[in-house]
Amino acid sequence: MLRGANAARATPYRPFPSGNDLLAAAFQSVLPPAPIPSADGTLREMLTRLLQDWADLIGQTPMMLSAMYWVALGGDLEQYAAPFDAIFDSPQAAAELGEYDSVAAISLLLGPLVTVKMSTLAGIDYGECVRASVEGFLHVYGRRTGITGPSTESADA
C-alpha cells in the first residue's frame, strides 16, 4: 500500500508519539464508542441500563480484539469512564452514594462483565451479571440509612 502511494515506510507512524499510540488508534477505529448513559430513572435503573449496554458491547466484541485494544490503550481510559462519571455526577448519585473512588467503582461494575467474557464459558447470562454488579456496587457504596449492623454484644450478657 505504501509503495503504491509512493510514501515512505515511516509515514503512517509520524502522527503518533509511539508504536503503542498507533496501535491504540488502530484498535479504537474498529471498536464501538462507549455507551451514552440515560439521565432518566433511579440510580439503580441508570446503572443497570448503562451496564446492559456495556454487556452488549462486550458480548459482541471478539475477545482477542478486546484484549489487544485494552493493552494498547494503557491508562488512557477517560472516554470509557465518562459515561460512569455522568451518572456519578447526577443528583441521584449524590443523594444515594457515600464516599467512593471512581476507578474502584467502575472496576466493581465492569469487572464481572469483562471476567465473564474472558472466561469463554458458554451460556453466560449477561443480564444476571449486570444485575449482580449493580446490586453489589449499591450495597458497597450506597448510603446505609436505617440499617443497623450486627450486634456486638454477646447473647449471654
pTM score of the predicted model: 0.70
Q: Tens digit of pLDDT for each residue in 139-156?
A: 999 986 543 334 444 444
Per DSSP, the chain holds a count of helices (H) and strands (E) of: 7, 0
Cβ atoms of residues 119 and 141 within 8 Å: no
Cβ atoms of residues 52 and 4 within 8 Å: no
What is the rounded CA–CA span in Å between residue 37 and residue 87?
A: 7
- By C-alpha distance, which of 113, 117, 109 is closest to 134? 109
Q: Tens digit of pLDDT for each residue in 46-64?
A: 999 999 998 888 777 777 7
